[in-house]
A and B are shown apart, each in its own frame.
Chain A
Amino acid sequence: MAKYKNHILVCGGTGCRASESEAIASNLNASLSENNLQDDVQVVRTGCFGFCEKGPVVKMVPDNTFYVHVAPDDAEDIVLEHVIKGRKVERLLYVDPETKEHVSDSRHMDFYKKQLRIALRNCGFINPENIDEYIARDGYSALGTIMEEMTPEAAINVVKDSGLRGRGGGGFPSGLKWELTRKSEADQKYVVCNADEGDPGAFMDRSILEGDPHSVLEAMAICGYCIGADRGLIYIRAEYPLAIKRLKIAIEQARDYGLLGNDIFGTGFNFDVEIRYGAGAFVCGEETALIHSMEGLRGEPTVKPPFPAQSGYKEKPTNVNNVETFANIPAIFLKGADWFKKIGTEKSPGTKVFALAGKVNNVGLIEVPMGTTLREVIFDIGGGIKGGKKFKAVQTGGPSGGCLTEDHLDLAIDYDGLLASGSMMGSGGMIVMDEDDCMVSVAKFYLDFTVEESCGKCTPCRVGNKRLHEMLDKITLGQGEEGDLTRLRNLANVIKDTALCGLGQTSPNPVLSTMDNFPEEYQSHVKESKCPAGQCRALMQYVINSKLCVGCTLCSRVCPVDAISGEKKLPHVIDSSVCIKCGACIEKCKFGAISIQ
């Protein structure tokens, strides 16, 4: 076996692959062979590093140099300079946005400093397509230890003691769920992994499956042993081809090693996993809808109880956990419930993965201990607001969550804290907004999504959300009337109280939370027909300042609808009734005479 002196880790997550990280890896290999170094240096394709903003990312081991924005053409330089001459390729190093200095070591980057990776422990570290690397990182030894040394009840107690709560959004205690499923008596039980990640902008489950699929398989087998199930099903959306491919490889490898299949670890325990594909409906992330979809029925939720723990897939007891929840399980068994409980807050132990997106400098996938404040996430890890603009709001919990303001920045993130402040944890989407974002439009955007994704089974969600959306539309068009805001709030509350499943019950949250936190913005849309953020086109007015206008006629010539008139060398005027607010005149004006009001 060749003994490698260096490893070059190339990010193989979907984001970096889209930016040609495959070509980087093959160019590196080509260049290494050219220089006869193929036995000294190993190129490893890993899962997501999380720093997607700076992708494609390449990390050099053992000296821990972190290269960002790498292009396939840079491969040769990395080999010639870094590997052969031992000189860092300066131009590919990360530049600290504050000090403007090159930072070569990922441990010194603000983006990584405050992170603690449990669910993502192997992402960006191992080759996800190689079970050996997972085993070398203590993979499957949690499963082995439990099966040889623990009773299912004792193992369930470990999960209960750890205080782990469902990472899919609801925050239900996982150990309790396992216990309930264990107690249901039946000839057949199922373990289901919910990989139907649907929040706009959230991609943590995909990254875990792409970067560390074995951790989920191992956890499912542990769960199967604990609850007494011999079959596992992964419900994954078909839009995740790379995650599916890596899962399939992982399942095959685990079967080859006898870690899935019959008589695992010689204990007589059987467990196997198969993949079920979802068509990508948001509601199928709800566990009863998910189960129906797997049964070949319409993806519609049903009233609970009965809970899946009593009657789930094919009316058998079924334990449904989300990907991130499962990814935590092996680590909890390896390190102990007490270790896990010490991380995070009292009621929400452990860490949470967030997909940080929107108007922050460092977009990416991060994992922080519960109890970290929003300020730390947005300003320290996220590097602050893009373009030096002012922070306005952060949306958490996806279409079911709410918008939090500057006043909430020092809020410690955990399930209960977010709920108390009018938002929720959700699956971990975190979208940051700046002063240019109109909160009414934001609420409308999320409602757009829920209207589209409503399964149509219950009236409050199907009709109610549509009406909510129409009212918001009216307001953003400047046609809002006195009383609209009261009607909006009433209807939102009715939907919340009467909808059948989680989707409907939470769909008015973005509306309610923006109304609570930004009442003045709704008021000015309705009462003054003005959009303070300058986003609602219908409410904008293009005006020419007659003192600055010299009458050069440039604007009137560029206007596509002939809304601008005036004599040469005299100030021009814009006819608002004709103007379509395309902005072409502003771009052309050399005197800064045109403005939006």
Chain B
Amino acid sequence: MSKVKNLQDLKKMRDDLKGKITLREKSDHPDSLVQIKVSMATCGIASGARDTMNYMVDELESQAVDAVVTQTGCMGYCYAEPTIEVTLPGEKPVVFGQVDTKKASEIIEKYIKNGELVDGIIPDSYETIDKK
């Protein structure tokens, strides 16, 4: 391992290493970040949810969008897999269906970065026990 020669060296090192723990840093305050849940039950995975998730993780990182991407279970929209739920800070969650990597890129560009809605939204047609 090369030695740290000066403060600049250390700072560069820190910036390179930050990626290793940003996931943990973010989990301390997820409410202030874009939260994305990818439905990853058997049907979701079979329809390509893992690719969608990997794509979103990489893409958001390379575009430096602060987001937390997690997997979740079946959302029930089997006809529209892969599905993802996006929660912008301070907004209600929105569910998108049939999200392949192309759709994912559109969602990132339009909805996540600019707040514009895109086609493919699955309306929230149920009530949760929290609301009751």
Contacts and interface: CB of A to CB of B under 8 A. Distances in A.
A132 B14 CA distance: 8
B41 interface: yes
Contact of B30 (A64, A144, A259): A64
A265 B5 contact: yes
Interface in B21-67: 21, 23-24, 26-28, 30, 37, 39-41, 53-54, 57-58
A148 B8 CA distance: 10
B5 A85 contact: no
Contact of A9 (B24, B57, B68): B24
Given A5-B69, A86-B70, A138-B14, A126 B6 contact: no
Contacts of B71: 5, 83-84, 86
A62 B4 contact: no
B51 to A, nearest CB: 13
A254 to B, nearest CB: 10
A259 B4 contact: yes
A354 interface: no
Given A62-B26, A136-B18, A141 B1 contact: no
A83 B11 CA distance: 34
Contact of B40 (A86, A139, A144): A86
A75 to B, nearest CB: 18
A258 B3 contact: yes
A135 B14 contact: yes
Interface residues of A, number: 37
A141 B11 contact: yes
B20 interface: yes
A527 interface: no
B57 A5 contact: yes
Contact of B7 (A62, A83, A141): A141
Contacts of A154: none
A268 B4 CA distance: 13
B78 interface: no
A61 B27 contact: yes
Nearest to A264: B4
Most buried by A among B5, B11, B18, B23: B23
Contacts of A136: 14, 17-18, 20-21
Given A86-B73, A133-B21, A265 B30 contact: no
B13 A5 contact: no
Nearest to A105: B30
B10 interface: yes
A62 B70 contact: yes
Contacts of B1: 256-257
Contacts of B70: 6, 62-63, 86
Contacts of B26: 62
A592 interface: no
Contacts of A4: 23
A521 B107 CA distance: 71
Nearest to B70: A63
Contacts of B39: 86
A145 B8 CA distance: 10
A136 B16 CA distance: 8
A101 to B, nearest CB: 12
Interface of A: 3-7, 9, 61-64, 83-87, 107, 125-126, 132-133, 135-141, 144-145, 147-148, 256-259, 265-266
Given A63-B27, A140-B10, 19 more contacts: A3-B58, A5-B54, A61-B23, A62-B26, A62-B68, A63-B30, A85-B40, A85-B73, A86-B40, A86-B72, A87-B72, A126-B21, A135-B10, A144-B4, A144-B10, A256-B1, A258-B4, A258-B5, A265-B6
Ordered nearest first, which 10 A-B pairs have the shortest CB separation? A258-B3, A86-B72, A144-B7, A136-B17, A62-B27, A86-B71, A62-B68, A61-B27, A86-B73, A63-B70
